[in-house]
């Protein structure tokens, strides 16, 4: 971005100190540690108050900083301060202005209980065949992340692919209102955040909010295999396309063959094209179908879509194969977990050939509320000792799965560690895993299984 302080002040209806009107802002940051010279610092309230770091931001090259009106008398920094009622609201207002009036790209907004990040990566790869594309970085998909993604765009951006997450009603309505998408995508409805919503029906209601900001001439793309979405889509006036595995969809897949590191499939259209995506699982085929529909909306050639999907880059920690230090192959999916996603991954993992054992290392699935024990225990049906020989479970919620597996697995093949005992789990797992084993690691991000993964990659084992 490139804006003067005077222009930003006009957007935010505030003033800048005399003599600083023409200062150029080339980016925004809410983290004084990663801030780049020329950035506007946004002091947000987190574990600590961002206003405490304005001086650090100034030393690191911030050209100016926002400042909440009730904090102005407490801040002393040698950079211009732009006084606003609330820095977060100001960030969002600035992003909306920059998106609509400075850059004005086409916007693809993506949400879903599972698959939104992978679908985002696929869509961006496809559209990059013809357009200058910016996509959501990492998990910047909330009230802070979406504005930050918008403000990261260069002025020549033609398409913005923005991921939108939610954990409460009204959140997607707000984010969709900021982005005003030309295309809105819902990948699927699962049990993620059921602690807050109580039922899948209410989750579907909340996901449908992504269409609230959809432009009148926009396109709504959704998983047609989900009855909850089909029912609610009847209330959306904009054009619609469905994807899925059933032939009633506008686009569906055939002849799906999943492998350890890739999945092949054909389409209900373009019979001469065979697709091969570098990720495992039938669930990733549906993500690809959503991305294909987006690509066709933007007139990307079928052959270019095929090539883009074959070579797209996946965001870290989403079903990545990583080699451990002993030579074992590790399927890392340690960023997120919920019952639907876990069951799907286990279904594929159980079939992968190996000369050693298949070992599953599973952490709590968080935000499942009153249904947590039942949903954790239900994963027992996806685990067979003849296919996944050894189980490591970590966390308090997953104790229900340990109990459900007690009669199914021998005691020496089922290892349970309560929350706080991650080090004990790590030590035992490092001693146990051999070079010819396959290891699955999956849990909610709050369980920090990435620490266990890092330990398996260290070079000082045994």
C-alpha span between 224 and 234 (Å, rounded): 12
Q: Is 244 annotated among the ligand-binding residues?
A: no
Q: Is 114 annotated among the ligand-binding residues?
A: yes
Q: Is 38 annotated among the ligand-binding residues?
A: no
Q: Is 340 annotated among the ligand-binding residues?
A: no
H or E, element range at 376:
helix 372-377
C-alpha span between 352 and 432 (Å, rounded): 20
- CA-to-CA dists, residue 90 to 40, 44, 65, 138, 421, angstroms: 12, 11, 11, 23, 42
C-alpha span between 403 and 416 (Å, rounded): 10
C-alpha span between 386 and 273 (Å, rounded): 37
Query: Shortest CA distance to 160 belongs to which of 105, 215, 231?
Result: 105
Q: Is 36 annotated among the ligand-binding residues?
A: no
Q: Is 173 annotated among the ligand-binding residues?
A: no
Q: Is 112 annotated among the ligand-binding residues?
A: yes
C-alpha span between 99 and 442 (Å, rounded): 36
Instruction: Collect all residues with Cβ–Cβ distance below 8 Å to 397 and sequence separation of at least 6.
Output: 364, 365, 366, 368, 372, 373, 376
Instruction: Collect all residues with Cβ–Cβ distance below 8 Å to 423 and sequence separation of at least 6.
Output: none
DSSP 70: G
Instruction: Collect all residues with Cβ–Cβ distance below 8 Å to 168 and sequence separation of at least 6.
Output: 196, 206
| DSSP helix/strand/coil, 459 | coil
Binding site for ATP, residues? 112-118
Q: Which residues are annotated as a binding site?
A: 112-118
């Amino acid at each position: 971005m490139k804006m003067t302080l005077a222009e930003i002040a006009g957007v935010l209806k505030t003033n800048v100190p005399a003599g600083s009107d023409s200062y150029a802002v080339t980016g925004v940051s809410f983290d004084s540690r990663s801030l780049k010279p020329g950035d506007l610092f946004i002091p947000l309230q987190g574990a600590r108050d961002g206003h405490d770091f304005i001086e650090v931001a100034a030393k690191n090259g911030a050209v100016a900083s926002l400042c909440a009106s009730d904090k102005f008398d407490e801040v002393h920094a040698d950079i211009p301060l732009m006084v606003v009622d609330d820095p977060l609201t100001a960030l969002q207002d600035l992003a909306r202005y920059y998106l609509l009036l400075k850059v004005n790209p086409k916007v693809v907004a993506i949400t879903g209980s599972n698959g939104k990040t992978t679908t985002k990566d696929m869509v961006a790869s496809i559209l990059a065949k013809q357009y200058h594309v910016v996509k959501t970085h990492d998990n910047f998909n909330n009230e802070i992340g979406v504005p930050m993604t918008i403000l990261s765009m260069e002025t020549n951006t033609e398409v913005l692919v923005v991921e939108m997450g939610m954990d409460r009603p009204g959140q997607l309505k707000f984010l969709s209102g900021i982005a005003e998408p030309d295309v809105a995508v819902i990948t699927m409805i699962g049990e993620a955040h059921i602690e807050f919503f109580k039922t899948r029906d209410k989750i579907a209601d909340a996901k449908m909010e992504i269409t609230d900001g959809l432009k009148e001439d926009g396109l709504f793309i959704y998983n047609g295999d989900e009855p909850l979405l089909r029912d609610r889509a009847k209330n959306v006036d904009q054009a619609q396309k469905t994807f899925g595995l059933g032939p009633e969809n506008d686009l569906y897949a055939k002849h799906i063959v999943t492998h350890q590191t890739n999945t092949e499939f054909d389409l209900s259209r373009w019979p001469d094209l065979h697709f091969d995506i570098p990720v495992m699982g039938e669930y990733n085929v549906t993500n690809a179908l959503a991305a294909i529909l987006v690509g066709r909306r933007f007139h990307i050639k079928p052959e270019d879509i095929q090539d883009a999907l074959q070579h797209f880059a996946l965001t870290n920690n989403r079903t990545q194969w990583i080699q451990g230090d002993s030579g074992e192959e590790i399927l890392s999916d340690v960023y997120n977990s919920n019952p639907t996603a876990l069951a799907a991954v286990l279904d594929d993992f159980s079939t992968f050939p190996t000369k050693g054992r298949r070992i599953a290392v599973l952490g709590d699935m968080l935000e499942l509320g009153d249904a947590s024990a039942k949903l954790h225990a239900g994963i027992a049906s996806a685990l067979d000792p003849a296919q996944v020989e050894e189980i490591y479970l970590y966390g308090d919620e997953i104790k229900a799965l340990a109990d459900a597996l007690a009669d199914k697995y021998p005691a020496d093949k089922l290892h349970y560690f309560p929350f706080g005992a991650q080090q004990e789990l790590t030590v035992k797992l490092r001693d146990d895993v051999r070079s010819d084993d396959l290891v699955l690691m999956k849990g909610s991000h709050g369980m920090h299984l990435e620490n266990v993964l890092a330990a398996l990659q260290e070079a000082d084992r045994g």
